[in-house]
Structure 1
Amino acid sequence: MTPQRQLVLDAVEELEHATPEQICSSVQRLAPAVNITTVYRTLDLLERLGVVRHTHLGHGAPSYSVHEHEHLHLVCHWCGQVAEVPTERLDELAGQLRTDFGFRLDASHVALSGTCARCAAEHPPVQSGDARADA
């Protein structure tokens, strides 16, 4: 483990969920010479070694966390809030997918998109026949 790789891993652990750019910014506070290419290569290596994992929380760069940091992500379309939910919430679905299709779900890589409670109250769904729906 080189000092640069350790800095990247330390940043992932500290930030919990972070894009490569955020990780790079954190690392550069301590080691300004470390560039984004080094961060991407290190994240790739650490993921192949099973130390970190990535999740796509929406459009854009993936978010990295340490491998043991397992949960589902609920991502709000409106405000971008990311809530964490235990992976066990998908146990029933995972069992059904295994039974029906022989598919083994890795729920630790799952991000579900939707609308958080606060935004749902502020932005009620558009009903069919509503002028906004017909526009």
Structure 2
Amino acid sequence: MTEAALVNTVRAHGLRVSALRRTVLRRLLAADAPLTAEELARGEDVASTYRNLNALETIGVVRHIHLGHGPGRYTLSGRSAGWVTCERCGRSTPIADDALHRLREAVLAVTGYQAGFNRFPIVGRCVDCI
């Protein structure tokens, strides 16, 4: 995913590509992990950052996720479909798509429910905290 492709997607949905919107996209592209709105704003206008994140989420460019206690975080759509978070140390790790597919199949087979795992993480203890 490139900045140009993201900008084209934003424009294709009829949204303006403002300086702040472009900054939010750049920061999400550069991020190794999901960020809070405050981290994305970096001391600038947090309310405007939230509005931009909401608009980007509405068109499917950004995902709002929760990785445990604390504020919601944002990531680009398609980066990772699921996360696992340690309930003791708070470390979060993305789940590979093939592994997530197997987890969803296992949950469906055992419970009859189709699990999403896309907004909230699987919570447990990492190998360092067991």
Decide: shared fold, TM above 0.5: yes
* TM alignment of 1:1-135, pairs within 5 A: 1-15=17-31, 16-25=33-42, 28=43, 34-95=44-105, 97=108, 101=112, 104-120=114-130
The structure-2 alpha-carbon separation of the partners of 1:63 and 1:104, relative to structure 1 and needing over 3 Å to count, comes to same
Distance 1:116 1:63 in 2: 20
SS in 2 for 1:118: coil
Q: Where does residue 132 of structure 1 map in the other structure?
A: none
More displaced, 37-46 or 64-73? 64-73
Is residue 87–residue 108 contact of structure 1 (8 Å, CA) maintained in 2? no
Is residue 62–residue 76 contact of structure 2 (8 Å, CA) maintained in 1? yes
Q: Give the alignment's TM-score, normalised by structure 2.
A: 0.73
- Per-residue CA deviation, residues 28-72 of structure 1 (Å, 9 max, x unaligned), is 5xxxxx400000000000000111101100112111111120242
Which ranges in structure 2 are unaligned for 5 or more consecutive residues?
A: 1-16
Is residue 83–residue 95 contact of structure 2 (8 Å, CA) maintained in 1? yes
Q: Which has the higher helix share?
A: 1
Aligned-pair distance for 1:110?
Answer: 4.0
SS in 1 for 2:22: helix
SS in 2 for 1:43: helix
Aligned-pair distance for 1:98?
Answer: 8.5
Aligned-pair distance for 1:100?
Answer: 6.6
Q: Where does residue 127 of structure 1 map in the other structure?
A: none
Is residue 80–residue 94 contact of structure 2 (8 Å, CA) maintained in 1? no
Paired amino acid for 2:34 = H
Q: Give the alignment's TM-score, normalised by structure 1.
A: 0.71
Asked which structure has the greater CA Rg, the reply is 1
The structure-2 alpha-carbon separation of the partners of 1:97 and 1:12, relative to structure 1 and needing over 3 Å to count, comes to same
Across the two proteins, how many residue pairs are aligned to each other? 112
SS in 1 for 2:118: helix
SS in 1 for 2:129: helix
Paired amino acid for 1:19 = T
